[in-house]
Structure 1
Amino acid sequence: MTDQDVTVRRARAEDIPGLVASSARLFAEDGGTRDATINVHWPHEHGAASFAAALEDPERLVLVVDHQGRVVGHLTGSVTEATARRLVKSATLVSMYVRPEHRRARAGAALVTEFLDWARAQGAEEAEVTAYAANTDAIRFYERGGFAPQLVTLRQALGGDKKKGQGD
């Protein structure tokens, strides 16, 4: 693939089925393999309504990677106004996926560039993205794009399998 093989553009209503399919691939490939608490069926159950709402919301961004009229990737983002707790307007890269066969076309980098340009135009002073700690490829990708670690989320399962006294 070359850069000319794919186009990054704003999503339209007719892209929703492709967005749902792209999101389902993301859930299956990333969250579904790294987090047992993720509902991998969410994109098929709720994705169409979620994408339709996002397309209508001026504080949300929905981009697609188009290859010959077919959605082969996506990015969603949002902006949050400054608050008394967080003093700057910020942009969050919520979700991003590019089919593996299109990743060498630099579609991911083009998506992030469009997201950052949009965030600046919205008046955001910072941008953030989360990635699973085990997804070292995603972390390296975002670091190459200028993102740097700021927070670490630590999680403990509270399921009934752990016996009292274990792990003390």
Structure 2
Amino acid sequence: MSVSVASLGPMTGGELIVRTARAEDIRGLVASSTRLFAEDGGTRDASMNVDWPREHGAASFAAALEDPARLVLAAECDGQVVGHLMGSVSGPTDKRLVISATLISLYVRPEHRRARAGARLVGEFLDWARREGAEHAEVTAYSANADAIRFYERNGFGAMTLTLRQSL
């Protein structure tokens, strides 16, 4: 994978780098995932365990870094992880006849979003998915998260399924 670099300008300083994550990034990846859970799932889904990243994130990221069917990317600025993406490929199976890529997790700190870090992370994920032979990529977003839905649509995703839930 190539490293993607962009200057952030005077507001944030430094350059934002998108690269494959390494074991030494795990602490920053967990912090990024913790922010994602608090900002997204924690505000939209009362059943979400917002402590999951702190409790299980390090082991999850460590396993993903060792798994050839997973991709973990870090967005870095001034030596600090300011965002991440985790994705996977699977298949084909008897049920789904093609290789499919799933964008599992994506987060960029708000102060770094103007550098198009999210779009760059998604672009690297899609390039990786193509190299892995995936015929399509998918991502799940909360229906109440209009900003995320617009972001994914701007990056080429479109609605295919709808999950409906009833509280019991």
| SS of residue in 1 equivalent to 2:160 | coil
How do 1:10-159 and structure 2 match up within 5 A? 10-158=20-168
CA RMSD of the aligned region, Å?
Answer: 0.9
Specify the code of the residue in structure 2 equivalent to 1:85.
Answer: K
When structure 1 is superposed on structure 2, of 77-86 and 103-112 the one drifting more is 77-86
Distance 2:74 2:36 in 1: 14
The structure that has the greater radius of gyration is 1
Structure 2: gaps (5+ residues): 8-14
- Normalised TM-score (structure 2): 0.92
Shift of 1:3: 2.7
Distance 2:156 2:25 in 1: 29
Residues 113-137 of structure 1: CA distance to partner in whole angstroms, max 9, x if unpaired? 0000000010100000000000000
Specify the code of the residue in structure 2 equivalent to 1:128.
Answer: E
| SS of residue in 2 equivalent to 1:3 | strand
> In percent, how many aligned pairs have the same letter?
73
- Of residues 3, 7, 13, the one that matches 2:6 is 3
Shift of 1:56: 0.2
Shift of 1:81: 1.1
The equivalent residue for 2:12 is none
When structure 1 is superposed on structure 2, of 81-90 and 46-55 the one drifting more is 81-90
Distance 2:6 2:112 in 1: 9
Residues 87-138 of structure 1: CA distance to partner in whole angstroms, max 9, x if unpaired? 1100000000000000000000000000000000101000000000000000
Distance 2:75 2:91 in 1: 28
Distance 1:146 1:51 in 2: 26
Distance 2:166 2:124 in 1: 36
Residues 25-77 of structure 1: CA distance to partner in whole angstroms, max 9, x if unpaired? 00000000000011000000000000000000000000000001000000000
- Normalised TM-score (structure 1): 0.92
Specify the code of the residue in structure 2 equivalent to 1:23.
Answer: S
Shift of 1:83: 1.1
Distance 2:89 2:124 in 1: 14
| SS of residue in 1 equivalent to 2:157 | coil
